[in-house]
Structure 1
Amino acid sequence: MTRFLQSEANPGGRRLEDILLELRSDVLLRCTKIADDHRPEALKVLANNMKVLEHLTATIELAQDSTNILDRAFGPSEVEHGGAPRIGVV
């Protein structure tokens, strides 16, 4: 059973891309708080966060693409209304 993601066992869960979008927003907020700190440690952390943001953005795009593929092939998910998963073994 998944703890965060929407599934048959967790119909109140969230879509992966929604969680990732919220996470990216949090990282961006952290970046703004350290953007004017020019100490070497802060600069390195900011540089690391920028790389994390790039990876998060790519991951969000992949998650959205998967949702789009499933929506086109099988229609919207009905899991939150007690429906079966669109793909996979039940």
Structure 2
Amino acid sequence: MKFKHLVSQDNPDGQRSEEILAEIRAEILVRMATYGDDPRPEAKAVMENNLKIAQLLTDAIHLAEANTKKLTEVI
């Protein structure tokens, strides 16, 4: 299987999972700033959802970092 974004033997210039997840989280946080002052209930619901998504991404980043650490310990 050839990976398009992730680092692998076939793709040594790819990124680690935690790097990609951190970039996505950063984009979500920037996007949130654009409608943070929007008083509409829909915007507030989107803000709450994005806060949850950002937290889930943070959790995923921590797991990916732990995986990277484990793999470098083995090698």
TM-score > 0.5 by shorter chain: yes
Once the 2 structures are TM-superposed, how far is the Cα of residue 57 of structure 1 from its aligned partner?
0.3
Is 1:16 the counterpart of 2:17? The answer is yes
Unaligned runs of 5+ in 1: 75-90
Match of 1:53 in 2: 54
Give 1 or 2: higher helix fraction: 2
Q: CA RMSD in A?
A: 0.8
**Partner letter of residue 50 of structure 1?**
L
Aligned length: 74
Normalising by structure 1, we get a TM-score of 0.79
1 or 2 for the larger relative contact order (CA 8 Å, sep ≥6)? 1
Is 1:3 the counterpart of 2:4? The answer is yes
Q: Detail structure 1 runs of 4+ shifted over 4 Å in the superposition.
A: none
**Identity across the alignment (%):** 41
Normalising by structure 2, we get a TM-score of 0.93
**Cα distance in 1, alignment partners of residues 55 and 65 from structure 2:** 16
Larger Rg: 1
**Cα distance in 2, alignment partners of residues 66 and 18 from structure 1:** 13
